[in-house]
Amino acid sequence: MFSNNTVRREIRIAGHHAGKPVTITPQADPIYRELVKLARRGNYWAVLTVNGIHQLAAGRLHQNNIFVKPDAVHRDGMEEFVVILPGCRVTAEKRPDGSYRVLYMQADLNYSELMEKAEKPGLYEVSKRSDGWNARRRKNGKISEEKNRLVAITDSKYDQPRDAAEVAAQRIAEAPRADGSLLEDNGFDMHFTPGKKRIGGLINYRDGVRPLDNAKLHESALLLAKTMYDARKIQGVSWIAEFGGSGVLTQALKILADQGVRLKDHYAFLVRPRTSPNEAVKAAHAVGLKLTRKFSQTHMLDYIGNRDQLELIINRLRNEKNYKLLQAITDMVEHGKSLQGAGAFMGSLAAVAGLSASAPAPAAAAAFLTALGAAVGGAATIGKLGKNMTEAWLPDKYYRIKSKF
């Protein structure tokens, strides 16, 4: 009260002419200004962040949005919440009159440098070379403007994008619209998500069955959603998620659906999804994606990929004109056979590995498979288990071996 410094007033940053006013506190304003500067220089992640803040004015950021942290704090009529954006966490509050105020911002202004080092999610152009597959980052976050372009959405736990590209090339080749020869000639685009562990799966059961709640994927999903939005007018694009990449794709589709975006001439496919394929298919329907006869390809031991297949089949029957009752019945029968085969196979694996296998419940299944993986350590044991074991429990090794033949 005794200072001669003028008290800075809150500054309106959005909603000047339409929508709800959005103001920002003096503490958060310097970071916001730096982000605006980066956005004006063409930095696309900064553009996403600034636009995300401005969307408060349009009322588009609400608790149903995937990148708004739930459990908002309510006090004195104010609703405080956190918006998760690429390289930035924004704490804001909604006032009783519907206006918004940005309270705090935590931004990593070196985000571009981290993307260059592949320490943050990004889009890569993948091409075939004599020594394998090469991945080069696309700085603008946009895919090649080619008809029927293939885009892989990868799992995490790859040392570098090139490793992800080597595996993704093998896996997306199994998608219905992927032609092996054209894949090698034209290459593909790849959305890469760095991380120290796989996404979803039985070990990460909760993240697997509730992919929309996994806040660790929000940053990557928002970047993918922007890539998909920019590609919406390119004909016949196929978005193919491999393993845990299904979680990133599911969130990206939900973000687009919340914004009312439609991808009418695009396709989606899941290769051995480690997150709920039913959540993915619901999100795909919401943005109008086309689905081929098969929406996902799973191994009989992919518990997460198989657990809600019946719900997925019912959803497809209700929402897709080209998916007929006979096809649904056929898929249900095939799913039943797969479950029977998985039960018998688990018993065989346990016998070979020297374990006792009563049918494990979902909560105990992760522990069972972890113990099984520890027991299967020797080459002789792997030899007894053969192709199915290697493909199910050691998929990366399986695809590396497969790529050499």
As a whole number, mean pLDDT of residues 270-274 equals 95
Q: How confident is the model at residue 388 (pLDDT cuts 50, 70, 90)?
A: low
**Does the pLDDT of residue 164 top 70, yes or no?**
yes
User: What pLDDT score does 54 carry?
Assistant: 83
> Is the pLDDT score of 115 beyond 70?
yes
Label residue 199 by pLDDT band (50, 70, 90). Answer: very high
What's the pLDDT at 336? 74
* Average pLDDT over all residues of the chain: 81
281 has pLDDT over 90: yes
pLDDT value of residue 348: 47
- pLDDT at site 82: 82
Say yes or no to pLDDT of 5 above 50: no
Neighbour tally for 343: CB within 10 Å: 12
Which one has a higher pLDDT value, 131 or 263? 263
Residues 186-209, mean pLDDT to the nearest whole number: 93
pLDDT tens digits along 123-152: 999 999 888 899 999 988 999 999 999 999
Is the pLDDT assigned to residue 368 strictly greater than 70? no
Q: Report how far apart, in Å, the C-alpha atoms of 65 and of each of 48, 84, 95 are.
A: 15, 10, 18
Q: What is the pLDDT of residue 65?
A: 56
- pLDDT of 399 > 70? The answer is no
Residue that wins the pLDDT comparison between 306 and 392: 306
Least confident segment among 21-30, 65-74, 272-281, 347-356:
347-356
pLDDT, average across residues 369-385: 48
Mean pLDDT, residues 366-387: 49
Percentage of the chain lying above the pLDDT 70 cut: 76
Tell me what pLDDT residue 343 has.
52
Task: Report the pLDDT averaged over residues 215-231.
Answer: 92
Question: What is residue 192's predicted lDDT score, i.e. its pLDDT?
Answer: 98
At residue 93, the pLDDT reads 86
pLDDT tens column, 46-58: 888 888 888 777 7
